[in-house]
């Protein structure tokens, strides 16, 4: 359910930030020491004084929410509908009556603050790549590009890898500069078992895996009209790639240098998918604090 109270009351919004940020007690953002005392408030935000270094700080100090034109409740609304409802920046701008630039900068500041997914594989793993239209600034909708051949980073169709771990159920979406053996090996590097089973299509960029003792590669050749041979397929990747396209679609024209933050946000969206509204919002806050 929509955590409405957090979007209408700034003090309810501040309460939530306190809950998440100071879960393990208040700590000075400058010197990391914890003997702090309450020191009044800054507007509705609690202010504290560090007994070690003498700095005063409030709930928002040294977070992405500090020194912002947006109130916390506007921030929360923006983050929430961006992640959960896949709302476009134009639509958020209209709902909040803010400028497009303000909303876009906040969304991107949030997304950049997220950690890149750390890939740990147990396998078997499917890996595949898609090419997304980037940098077209809304002039052209992203289209299925497979039929139009492979793209390139320089040609504004950067490759994006999808990985699907069939054991853990984890999915990863990672943009790359190129599709080559070393990039692929790096993506697959962190795995529990000594020998990782990897399913790919017949694209030759995956050929080096055949020579590598760390992997058992099995593949289907799509060109032969073959899409699956028992367990050997990349269908999970392909359906995840189509979710990725849908995610990027309202933000069409995301430039390639911003693809990484938008895809980190997509990763987060999946993690909070089934959580109730208030939990989802807490989870999203925790991810940037
Ligand atoms: Zn301090």
pTM reported for the whole predicted model: 0.90
Domain ranges, ordered by start, for the chain = 4-113+274-287, 125-254
Q: 16 alpha carbon to ligand 1 midpoint, in Å?
A: 23
Q: 49 alpha carbon to ligand 1 midpoint, in Å?
A: 8
Q: Which tokens sit at 155?
A: 């040609």
> Which CATH architecture does the domain made up of 125-254 adopt?
2-Layer Sandwich (3.30)
Q: 68 alpha carbon to ligand 1 midpoint, in Å?
A: 23
pLDDT in tens, 235-249: 999 999 999 999 999
pLDDT at position 253, please?
76
Q: 37 alpha carbon to ligand 1 midpoint, in Å?
A: 11
Q: 55 alpha carbon to ligand 1 midpoint, in Å?
A: 6
What is the average per-residue pLDDT within 6-20?
95
Q: 56 alpha carbon to ligand 1 midpoint, in Å?
A: 8
Q: 50 alpha carbon to ligand 1 midpoint, in Å?
A: 5
Q: How far is CA 164 from the centre of its chain?
A: 16
pLDDT in tens, 265-283: 999 999 998 999 999 999 9
Q: 58 alpha carbon to ligand 1 midpoint, in Å?
A: 12
Q: How far is CA 169 from the centre of its chain?
A: 17
What pairs with residue 57 in β-bridges?
A: 48
Q: 10 alpha carbon to ligand 1 midpoint, in Å?
A: 26
pLDDT in tens, 60-110: 999 999 998 899 999 999 999 999 999 999 999 999 999 999 999 999 999
Q: 35 alpha carbon to ligand 1 midpoint, in Å?
A: 8
Instruction: Tell me the H-state helices in 26-69.
Output: none
Q: 19 alpha carbon to ligand 1 midpoint, in Å?
A: 20
Q: How far is CA 110 from the centre of its chain?
A: 10
Residue 78: helix, strand or coil by DSSP? helix
| Residue 204: CA count within 13 A, CB half-sphere | 0
Q: 215 alpha carbon to ligand 1 midpoint, in Å?
A: 49
Q: 22 alpha carbon to ligand 1 midpoint, in Å?
A: 15
Q: 234 alpha carbon to ligand 1 midpoint, in Å?
A: 52
pLDDT in tens, 148-189: 467 888 878 899 999 999 999 999 999 999 999 999 999 999
Per-residue pLDDT band for 136 (boundaries 50, 70, 90) equals low
Instruction: Tell me the H-state helices in 26-126.
Output: 72-84, 89-96, 100-113
Q: 25 alpha carbon to ligand 1 midpoint, in Å?
A: 14
Q: 65 alpha carbon to ligand 1 midpoint, in Å?
A: 20
Q: 41 alpha carbon to ligand 1 midpoint, in Å?
A: 17
Burial class (CB in 10 A: 0-12, 13-18, 19+), 133: buried
Q: How far is CA 159 from the centre of its chain?
A: 16
| Neighbour order of strands in the sheet with 171-175 | 171-175, 159-165, 125-131, 196-201, 215-220
Which residues lie closer than 8 Å to 9 by C-beta, 6 or more apart? 73
Whether residue 103 contacts residue 96, with contact meaning beta carbons closer than 8 Å, is answered with yes
Kindly report the three-state secondary structure assignment for every residue of 219-274. Answer: EECHHHCCCCECCECCHHHHHHHHHHHHHHHHHCCCCHHHHHHHHHHHHHHHHCCC
Q: 6 alpha carbon to ligand 1 midpoint, in Å?
A: 29
228 pLDDT above the threshold of 90: no
pLDDT at position 149, please?
64
Q: 31 alpha carbon to ligand 1 midpoint, in Å?
A: 4
Per-residue pLDDT band for 133 (boundaries 50, 70, 90) equals confident
Q: 188 alpha carbon to ligand 1 midpoint, in Å?
A: 41
Whether residue 79 contacts residue 110, with contact meaning beta carbons closer than 8 Å, is answered with yes
């Amino acid at each position: 359910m929509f955590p409405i109270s957090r979007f209408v009351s700034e003090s309810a919004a501040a309460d939530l930030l306190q809950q998440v940020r100071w879960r393990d007690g208040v700590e000075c953002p400058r010197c990391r020491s914890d003997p702090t005392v309450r020191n009044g408030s800054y507007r509705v935000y609690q202010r504290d004084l560090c007994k070690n270094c003498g700095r005063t700080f409030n709930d928002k100090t040294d977070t992405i929410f500090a020194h912002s034109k947006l109130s916390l409740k506007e921030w929360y609304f923006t983050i929430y509908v961006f992640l959960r409802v896949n709302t476009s920046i134009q639509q958020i701008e209209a709902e909040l009556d803010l400028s497009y630039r303000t909303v876009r900068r906040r969304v991107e500041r949030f997304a950049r603050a997220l950690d890149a997914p750390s890939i740990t594989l147990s396998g078997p793993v499917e890996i595949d790549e898609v090419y997304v239209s980037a940098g077209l600034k809304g002039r052209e909708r992203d289209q299925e590009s497979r039929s139009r051949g492979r793209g390139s980073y320089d040609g504004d169709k950067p490759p994006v890898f999808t990985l699907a771990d069939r054991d853990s159920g984890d999915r990863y979406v990672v943009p790359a500069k190129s599709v080559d053996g070393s990039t692929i090996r790096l993506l697959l590097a962190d795995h529990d078992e000594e020998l990782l089973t990897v399913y790919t299509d017949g694209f030759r960029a995956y050929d080096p895996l055949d020579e590598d003792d760390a992997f058992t590669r099995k593949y289907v050749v799509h060109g032969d009209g073959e899409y699956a041979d028992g367990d050997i397929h990349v269908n999970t990747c392909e359906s995840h790639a189509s979710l990725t396209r849908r995610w990027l679609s309202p933000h069409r024209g995301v430039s390639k240098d911003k693809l990484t933050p938008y895809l980190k946000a997509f990763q987060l969206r999946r993690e909070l998918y089934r959580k109730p509204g208030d939990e989802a919002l807490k989870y999203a806050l925790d991810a940037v604090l």
